[in-house]
A and B are shown apart, each in its own frame.
Chain A
Amino acid sequence: MGLLTLVASVYLVCGIVLFFLGITILSEDYRGRLNRITSLMLFFAGSGPIFAAFGTILKAGGLASTTSVFYTNIFFLWELFFPQLLLFSLVFPVENLFLKKHLRAKILIFTPHIFRLLLVLFLYQPRNLINLSSLENVSGLGGFILQPVTFVLKFLSLSVEVIYRFHLQFFSIINLTYLFLAVLFLYQGTRKLTQSRLKTQAQLVTWGIRSAAGLYAVAFILPALTSLKIPDSLRYALTIGALLIGSGSIAWSIIRYRFLDIRTLVRQSLVYSLTSALLLGIYFLLITQLSNLMQTLLGRRVPILEIGYLILAIFLFQPIMGWIDELVKRLLLKDKADYRIMMEMFSRKIISILNLDELNRTIFEALKKEMLVEEVYLCLCDAKNGRFSLFSEDKNLSFPEDDHLIQELRLKDRPFFLDELSFEKDTPLFKTLSDSDVFLIVPIYSSEEFIGFFGLTKKITGLKYTYEDLTLLKVLANQFVVAYKNAQLYQESLEKQKIEEELLVAKQIQLGLLPKAFPKGKAFELSAYTQPAHQVGGDYYDFLERSDGSLGVAIADASGKGVPAALMVSLLHASLRAMMKNKFEPSETISNINQLISSSVSDGRFATMFYGEFNPHTRKLSYCNAGHNYPIVIRKDQKVEFLKTGGLILGPFPEATYQMEEILFESEDLVFFYSDGLTENFNEKQEMFGEDRLLELLLENRKLSCEELKELIVGEVENFAHGISLYDDFTIVILKVL
């Protein structure tokens, strides 16, 4: 096999590769403008090496001199590649607005090359077409009229001849200008891009074209402008190299970024076989070269060596093909396998995300980067208030809460296109979505419950959503829901934990409000107990030592339970303590507290409060009861009295007035203060502890010390409830007169 034939084969393979790339891109979607332009460009690019191959074969066969100029010059057809490239640079990655408006500009781009082709194919010898001398010979009037025509024709034919003589140099410069412009436009287009993936691809194309331009310049411009002589074979090689790099980069990026979601098997095998063919060519070339080399060195043919080369070739061929196969799969072609990879990647990623914002970011990123969706909107229902919110990665959109479209969406259980909707097309949400170019809606369901949707705009590639896309989106939405629910639960548990911690602090604060040490006196004995049903409670008691030596006793119960009640307790505590600076009567103290409370609470919140002052010297208790459970007085002689005098509960009625009463105590008299949480304790049989039971206990045990009596009552209540948790806070204060 001759070297020239081998070179021709390599050219041919290059040409066929480019041709097939063109066909592949065209067959993907022949209506796509970018596809048409790219494949035509690849056809032109492919025709270059193919013509070169034929030229080489002819030369090898010694037929070059005998073939006509037409067949030699048809070679220049490939140079239509340059205007086509320029056109490509004007529609990729973003279509040039000028070109969109002025379609005729396209023709202008092609004019020089078409003219040149006509020139080299038909007009290279204008004199053959028109016999000018016959025109010159016309005499008389005809001659007079024809004279300027003859002159013009003469001028034209002369200029055509001049152009023809220098067309190689001339078009080298034109082609280079086209290349330069193409690179410029591509560069500009790339700069405007924001999508990183597209940008990388556009950069790859720009890089490829630049390298191609460099090689082409070395092959044609350098020899044309300098006296440097470059052998034809090298020039062809350089040109074909340039074509391969330039077109290859374009084909690569077009395939890589457009062919994400169609059947790849065909393409894969095509590219695979083409690369195999190329590789095979290279192997043969190498083997022939090596054989020739060995033959020259050894002076004769050694058949055993050739067999050795063959084994070596097979030995090397397999792993390299395997490697190419991998590379092709990994870099060039992405398809169904991609979906599996994406799903796997996505579920792996989101399973560990417990932050809602991060989760949203991840799904946005997955849809934008992997599915090449231009913009993604997410609409989600807030579990707490049932309201839907619509947002994208960087903005929030609003729509009325009762939008009918949401009701309509609830009925959809699969992804659908917005324009499929037959009604609800005039709602604000529909308008917001269509204004944001949302195209596809993917409903999100959490165990049959509609919780929102993804709104996707068209793909960056302009391609349609395929059936596989919709299936994938459905799966992604399901995966998203699982992660979303997990994240939500986690967030809630965090919040709960935080509240628990805060409540613990509140509990400490509330415990701090209780008297730390009980006042001691010769004439009385005190004990107290309080237990909130929750972390913090609405019960409150206090002992205050007055300046006149008397003892202030307060017990209060804020309505409700938990934090709101605890806040009221703080208010009561602060108000009561503030009153102690003045020498108010208990009724005045209560009245003042009522006014303070009234101005700060609303919505039927209130507190009951008993406040009394016991003078140990006179043994007199003056008190005012603002709607609190009547404290029970057990006299030494077992007589029972209730401390009822006072007025309305504190809070709702600022104008309420309060009465006061004074009662005299004797030694061994006992006053039992409590909150209703004590008597309203329930047992298993739904019976209430009740006042009667309490009275009975008090009467029976009136002789115990304050502390003992307290322990006894608390024990009785606990026995009664028998493990049933406290429904309400309960508090006991016992004052015994000694």
Chain B
Amino acid sequence: MASAATVAASGVASKARAQQAEVPAGAKIGIPAGETSSVSFKVNGQDQTLSVDNRTTLLDALREHLHLTGTKKGCDHGQCGACTVMVDGRRINSCLSLAIMHEGDEVVTIEGLGEPGKLHPMQAAFVKHDGYQCGYCTPGQICSSVAVLEEIKAGMPSHVTGDLTAKVAFSLEEIRERMSGNLCRCGAYSNIVDAIADVAGRPA
């Protein structure tokens, strides 16, 4: 485990081109010097190069730097899933990831899935099944939903998968388990599952 952590850490360091900023006054009393780094990644197919504070999360880079505010901040702690985006095809909580860790990555946000008048099938299914109310967890739910169907297709097991050697089968139980990192306080779960089942072509 220690070696894996080291690899991960050095990977980040080599990816991010850290730039020592001018030492601010605060540094004298031991607070973090406001280091910034440049990071380049693709967001929804577009190349982006940002100069960000090293402490900036991917979530805040999207929201505050790129003004892609479809990705929501519900807790900033990895507890609610509202900030779910896809990075290189896998869903992550963007609040638990620093922007500078994503050099060269491909990020897809809710804005990249579809737009008004040109909805992604999952977005359309959420509208059809009323799989939302206030809408704040919705982008995260939709990004997760799209990724969950891919995960099942790719044979990734979950906590409720019975036979780990067999091909993972779509079931409502699998959907509910895999979606449980995305909280919805309005309580649209029953409709969200209907929407996902609709897109998967299965009866809810």
Judge: A and B partners, yes or no.
no
